[in-house]
Amino acid sequence: MSLALVYRLTLLSRCLTTKSQDKVSIHTSAMEDLLKRELNTTKLRPIGGGGGCINHGEGYETDHGRFFVKMNGDKGARVMFKGEYASLEAIAATGTVTVPKPIKVLDDPRGRGAMLIMEHLDMGGLRSYADQLGEQMARLHLHNEEVAKKGKRPSSRVGQGGDASPAYVSQFGFHTATCCGAIPQDNSWSDDWVSFYATRKLKLQLDLVEKDYHDKETRDLWPQLERKLPKFFEGVKVTPSLLHGDLWGGNAAENSKGPVIFDPASFYGHHEYEMAIASMFGGFGGKFFSAYHKVLPKASGWEARHELYKLFHYLNHWNHFGSSYRSSSVSIMKSLLKDY
C-alpha cells in the first residue's frame, strides 16, 4: 500500500452509513501557522494521508522529518485525542508492540475541535506479519500479569505521564476517558470486571440507543441479560490486561520492521474483549488468531463471552453509524439469553 494511504485502512462497510461528523480540513493558514510554531519548522509540506470514519488526517514534511496530524472539528475532539495520546503512551511503555509515538494535542485556533500530532510511519496493509502481531497482542495482554510477577508495586494509575516502567494495575478502567470511535468511554476504576462491563460498556451504549432510537426491544432485553451476566464468567478468573480497545482490521498495519497498531481506545479489561472487534470486520486472518491463542489459549466458555463482547461493538456501531446495526445487536442479545 502506498504512502498516500497511510492510516487510511478503513473498511468501506463500516463507514458507508456514518452519521455526519465535523471532519474539518486542516489546510488553513491559521492551522498551518500553529503547526509550524509547535513543530518549530519553516517547512510544512503536505505529503498525503487520509482519515477514517471519524477524523481527517494528513502527513507533513518538516525541517525535522515527517509527522502525521489527525484533526476533528467536534467539540469533544480534545477529550478523544487526549485519550488516544494516553493510550499510545501506555501501549508503548509495555514494549510489546509498535505504535506511533504521540507528540502533542492542540486546540484548533479557530475554536473548532482539536488535533493530535504524532510520529509518521510508512505503513502498508497487514500481510507478512499477521502471526507476529497475534503473538505481540497476546504479550501486550499478559504484560500487566508479568509486571505483577516481578513484584512491582500495585497501582491503578499506570500510564499517566507515560511511565516507561509501569507498575501493576489492580483494577479495571483507565486513568482518563478514551473514545471508541467518537463516543467517550467511562473508564472509572472498578474492582469487578462484570460490573465494569455491564455499566461502563454495555449500559452506556444502551442508554445512547434509548436516547436516539427509543428501541423497546433492547429496552426489554437488557434487564434480562444483565441479570445473567455473571453466568458467562463462572469458573473464569479475569485479571486486568491493557487493551488496544478498538482493534479492527483498519487499525493495524505493518512496515518494514513488523506490525503496527494505532487509533487505540485503551483501558484495562478482560483480554478476551480485544478479540471481538478483531473478528468482526475482516483484516485479520487465521494466522493472527492462531498465534494469539497459542500464547493465550481459549478458556472455558470463550465462545459465549466472545459474542457478549461483540455486542458492545454492534451497539457502538449502531450509535455511530445508524440502525443498520440494530438487527445484529438484537440478535446477539436474544442468542445470549437463549444460551444462558
Catalytic residue set: 246
Residue type, 39: L
Give the C-alpha distances (Å, rounded to integers) separating 160 from 139, 164, 316, 330. Answer: 21, 10, 26, 37
Distances (CA, A) of 134 to 137, 229, 283, 293: 5, 28, 12, 8
Instruction: Label residues 97-129 b or e (16+ Cβ within 10 Å = b).
Output: bbbbebbebbebeeebbbbbbbebbebbebeeb
Residues in the chain: 340
8 A C-beta contact, residue 57 and residue 7 = yes
Angle at CA of residue 256, ends 250 and 262, nearest 5°: 30
Contact criterion met (CB below 8 Å) for 81 and 90: no
Strands 44-49 and 252-255: unpaired
**Beta sheet of 114-119, edge-to-edge order:** 44-49, 56-62, 65-72, 114-119, 102-107
Residue 166, classed as helix, strand or coil, is coil
The letter for the amino acid at 32 is E
